[in-house]
Amino acid sequence: MRIDVLTALPGLVDAPLRHSILERAQEKGVATVRVHDLRTYAPGKHHQVDDRPFGGGAGMVLKPEPVFRGVEAIADAEGEADEIVYLTPDGECLDQSTVNQLSLNEHLILIAGHYEGIDQRVRDQLVTRELSIGDYVLSGGELPALVLIDAVVRVLPGALGDSSSALTDSFQDGLLGAPAYTRPAEFRGMEVPEVLRSGDHQRIARWRDEKRLEKTRNRRPDLLPDAEDAEAS
Ligand code: ADE
Distance in angstroms (rounded) separating the CA atoms of residues 125 and 208: 47
The Cα–Cα gap between 195 and 216 comes to 21
pLDDT value at 229 more than 80? no
Catalytic residue from among 78, 130, 150, 169: 169
- For residue 164, the model assigns a pLDDT of 60
> 167 pLDDT exceeds 80?
no
Rounded Cα–Cα distance for residues 153 and 99 (Å): 9
Active site residue 10: no
The b/e string for 155-183 (b: 16+ C-beta within 10 A; e otherwise) is bbeebbeeeeebeeebbbeebbebeeeee
For ligand 1, the distance from its centroid to the CA atom of residue 138, given in whole angstroms, is: 5
* Residue-averaged pLDDT of the chain: 94
CA distance 64 to 56: 18
pLDDT of residue 226: 77
Catalytic residue among 89, 129, 130, 150: 89
User: Residue 51 catalytic?
Assistant: no
- Which is nearest to 86 in space by CA: 65, 102, 110, 118? 110
DSSP per-residue string spanning 141-163: SHHHHHHHHHHHHHHSTTSSSST
Average pLDDT of 117-143? 97
CA 170–ligand 1 middle distance (angstroms): 22
pLDDT for 228: 58
Residue nearest atom 2 of ligand 1, based on CA coordinates: 138
Centroid of ligand 1 to alpha carbon of 10 (angstroms): 17
Q: What is the pLDDT of residues 62-95, one digit of tens each?
A: 999 999 999 999 999 999 999 999 999 999 999 9
206 is catalytic: no
